[in-house]
Amino acid sequence: MEVFRERRRRLLDLIDGVAIFHAPAASLRNCDVEHPFRQSSDLYYLTGFEEPESVLVVTSVHPEHRAVMFVRPRDQEREPWEGPRPTPDAVKEQLGLDAAFGLDDLGAKLGDYLAGAGRLHYELGLDRAFDERVIAAVRRLRGRRHRSSRPWPCCIVHPEATLHELRLVKGEAEIASLRRAAAIAAAAHLAAMRHAAPGRHEYEVEAALREVFLRRGAARVAFEPIVASGPNATLLHYTGNRRRIEAGDLVLVDAGGELDFYASDVTRTFPASGRFSGPQRRIYEVVLEAELAAIAVVRPGATVDQVHDSALGTMVRGLVRLGLLQGDPAELIAQESHKRYCPHRTSHWLGMDVHDAGSYFEGGQSRALVPSMALTVEPGIYVSPADDLAPAEYRGIGVRIEDDVLVTASGHENLTQAIPKGVAEIEQACRR
């Protein structure tokens, strides 16, 4: 409980007014079946509470309360199916809040909590129905502005400016969770390398991944696993995972588990039969060189753009060497000719969400890294099977290599270092 209280205290240092965070409702898949529920990362970060539809109000303007929650009321009819819901009193006690109410009180009390706040910290656009309730409360306060000298929330601020700044720099417990999530990703990727073989299907490899994640305590995968064999590896978001793996294929596996609400996100690309062909290996070595060069840049003070530029520069020089691009590497990048083969950026923040919260720019500039940020480094080269400008031997090859990297005081730590990625190591892991 103390870690969540401390986070709320730190949020209060950043806000002037009221912040509202709310959990989604469970969403219906069909008839009586729901999609798996996953708590909102923002709400969980501040409370550790997993109930759907909960609303957290953090306020610097209320005379007595700083943190208040509204929770789903008990429902006698649902209890035999879902178990009892915690009462407001229990929630107040359990989470160390100043007050807690049933959600049925939200309409009456929201205006009271917003009164006197010149700023409302709230993410508009996540849930239109809830937006309407918040906007209605704000309008009612505005309607009283002739009568009351107290501020009303004329300014609505996205949590990127406040809470997400906190989420971006991880605390010790969060780093420990990221490490555990990285460790299960390592085990899962090794299992995938052992399972992928000509004649097997992509979904069989997916099953091997999921088995390791679940067996090792992951509540869920951090995103739908990509098991892309042969030409499927050139589709960035391929998640069909139905194809039969053929001899001579590369298999690109991009998968991560979510442990204690923290994600891992790792990609390895390996030969199904245990040995890279010449062209596969040449592309692979360019991507590997780029990945290592980009990771080497990660240290406090370096920017996200510098990490990307390092990867991209290395890849474009490699593409010229291999005859996939012709010309001066710097000019090719300036003209964006590389996008044919290297269409995506190199990094994203990693944390509770796989593409974690936090701004990538500061004062209009690429953001400088600070210790305890976590990011992926994931360069890739993808040659479409239909690319008739590419030398034929490279068509249909897709390679990405992705690791999870923590910024440390002295540089960085690769949390997923243990997963094979050198050519010889990979070939050995696949043949085991």
Query: Which residues 209-248 are close enough to bind ligand GLY by CB under 6 A?
Result: 223
Q: Which residue is nearest to ligand GLY (CB)?
A: 254
Q: Does 254 bind ligand GLY (CB under 6 A)?
A: yes
In the numeric block, the tokens 């178990």 are attached to 83
Smallest distance from the beta carbon of 114 to Mn ion, in angstroms? 38
Note if 89 is an active site residue.
no
Q: Does 42 bind ligand GLY (CB under 6 A)?
A: no
User: If we measure between CA atoms, which residue out of 345, 340, 344, 268 comes closest to residue 303?
Assistant: 345
C-beta of 29 vs 344, nearer to ligand GLY: 344
Q: Which residues contact 162 (CB under 8 A, 6 or more apart)?
A: 11, 14, 15, 19, 121
* Interacting partner of 223 out of ligand GLY, Mn ion, none (Cβ under 5 to 8 A depending on kind): ligand GLY
Note if 244 is an active site residue.
no
Three-state SS for 411?
Answer: coil
C-beta of 174 vs 404, nearer to Mn ion: 404
How many whole angstroms from its chain centre is CA 378? Answer: 14
Query: Which residues 338-367 are close enough to bind ligand GLY by CB under 6 A?
Result: 348, 354
Task: Write each residue from 53 to 92 as x if it is in contact with ligand GLY (CB under 6 A), else as -, in one continuous string.
Answer: ----------------------------------------
Three-state SS for 24?
Answer: coil
Note if 32 is an active site residue.
yes
Distances (CA, A) of 46 to 12, 102, 133, 378: 11, 19, 22, 30
Among 344, 362, 425, 431, the active-site one is: 344
C-beta of 243 vs 348, nearer to ligand GLY: 348
Read off the tokens for 83.
């178990």
**Using the rule CB under 6 A, which residue among 378, 403, 404, 427 binds ligand GLY?**
378
In the numeric block, the tokens 């690769």 are attached to 414
C-beta of 21 vs 262, nearer to Mn ion: 262
Note if 13 is an active site residue.
no
In the numeric block, the tokens 């509470």 are attached to 49
Note if 147 is an active site residue.
no
Three-state SS for 56?
Answer: strand
Note if 338 is an active site residue.
no
Q: Does 265 bind ligand GLY (CB under 6 A)?
A: yes
User: If we measure between CA atoms, which residue out of 353, 396, 403 comes closest to residue 235?
Assistant: 396
Note if 382 is an active site residue.
yes
Smallest distance from the beta carbon of 423 to ligand GLY, in angstroms? 22
Distance CA 241, CA 104 (A): 44
User: If we measure between CA atoms, which residue out of 44, 50, 54, 91 comes closest to residue 357?
Assistant: 44
Query: Nearest 5°: phi and psi at 313?
Result: -55, -45
Is residue 238 within 8 A of residue 226, CB to CB? The reply is yes
Binding residues vs Mn ion (CB under 5 A): 254, 265, 376, 402
Q: Which residues bind ligand GLY (CB under 6 A)?
A: 223, 254, 265, 348, 354, 378, 402
Q: Which residues form the catalytic set?
A: 32, 237, 254, 265, 344, 348, 355, 378, 382, 400, 402
